[in-house]
Amino acid sequence: MFDFGGVAIRTVTALFAGLLAVSPAAAQQSVVRSYEALAQEIGQAWMVHSGGRCLGIMPNHVAQQGAVLSLLREGRAGLRADTAEIIDLGDDIAIVRVEGNLAQDCGRTLGSLSRQVEHHLRNSGLGALRTINGDGTVRHLPVTVVDDDGETFLRIRPNLDSERIQRGDSGSLLMVNGQVVGMLLSVDARVGVGKVMRVDTLLDKVEARLHEIRTVQTKPAAVRSGMWKISGWNVDSTGVSHTTATLTGPGTDGFWSAHVPAWPAVLELDGPQSIRAVRGVEFTSSPEVDAKLLPAQVQVLTSIKPGSSAWRSVATEILTYHDGKARIDFLPVRALKLRIEIYSSQDAGDAVALGRLQVIE
């Protein structure tokens, strides 16, 4: 211990190589982005699952920065999700239900996560902020714990004066001895000190609210009978009004559009809870969609295994649109999931757009 401006200092330093000794399963994270500026990282989310739901734990001020936010999970797979429901827990903490293929690999169960804090701090283990960059890679910032109130909050600062806790780091996990001990909520830019909620307090708050929700039997919205729903995608939509949810939404207003840095653009759909006999897919434009952006070469694949990559190709066609519609028909095939691979748009550029997508049974 030593004094630094009247604040007790607990030094948590080590060689930088040691900071990389982090359990990916326990610390599975996503970078949070706004559809208004996808290149900008607005925060971080800790991914967990509970009661069949994929949840992101993040600062509430991050969760409130858009009607729908985009999450990109760490790693090369590029798993994505959109926020679907936000629950404010107070103390600038929120849990967010997400939808997308990220939910297929959503970290550990909430109850299996360690809540130890004192043990790791007492042993002065490794200290680092673990953050996900905009490309899914992991960044570690060596830090020192400068205060612990013993109940709710820790305070940290970077080990090097040349390092700063950055905008977009809110929600990063504080790792000590390779274990999560807290989540960064904010930083005092004047002195460079970050405010961290202890993991024991954080998870207790999350579990308490989820228990309340289960008590009143609040459940995810049921999928309507016969309705197929977008469950995964590999490209970013161009805006919050043009997300993949539009493709299977009600009515005819709105459309999906995306920038495609590398073809194919992939869409995955889940059926209504049981294996169905599928015989086609219909692609519908919208008055707002430039015809040059409509899908052109398309492959349709099916699977009867949930959460599986065992896809079977059933049709490949170059679409021709009549009165704004194109359709791929094939012999009836049993399917629980569908995968639509779009290999080009009509003008073979780097963008694609579509009004509605309907699975024909």
Q: Kindly report, residue by residue over 239-249, the tens digit of the pLDDT.
A: 998 999 999 98
pLDDT tens per residue across span 120-129: 888 765 689 9
- What per-residue confidence (pLDDT) applies to 294? 97
The alpha-helical segments, DSSP class H, found in 60-115 are 60-63
pLDDT band at 116 (very low <50, low <70, confident <90, very high): confident
Q: What percent of the chain has pLDDT over 70?
A: 87
> Residue 107: pLDDT above 70?
yes
pLDDT of residue 106: 87
Q: Backbone phi, then psi, for 34, in 5-degree steps?
A: -95, 140
pLDDT at residue number 25: 47
Mean pLDDT of the chain: 86
118: enclosing H helix or E strand: helix 118-122
Q: Structural domains in the chain?
A: 1-221 (2.40.10.120), 229-360 (2.60.120.260)
For residue 250, what are its two tokens? 């009600």
Tell the residue number behind the tokens 């004192």, with chain if given.
118
pLDDT tens-digit map of 6-40? 344 444 333 444 444 444 445 699 999 998 888 88
3-state secondary structure of 249: coil
pLDDT given for residue 27 in this prediction: 65
- Phi and psi at 87, nearest 5°, equal -125, 115
In one-letter notation, the amino acid at residue 196 is V
Q: How far is it, in rounded angstroms, from Cα 131 to Cα 194?
A: 14
Q: What is the band of 177 on the pLDDT scale with cuts at 50, 70, 90? A: confident
Q: How far apart are CA 46 and CA 295, in angstroms?
A: 35
Average pLDDT over residues 197-219: 81
User: Above 90 in pLDDT, residue 91?
Assistant: yes
pLDDT of amino acid 125: 55
pLDDT of residue 11: 41
Whole-number pLDDT of residue 54: 92
pLDDT at 42: 94
Decide if 199 contacts 182 (C-beta within 8 A): yes
Name residue 333's beta-bridge partners. 278
Average pLDDT rounded to a whole number, residues 327-332: 94
Locus of tokens 């925060």: 43
Q: Which has the closest alpha carbon to 10: 162, 176, 131, 152?
A: 176
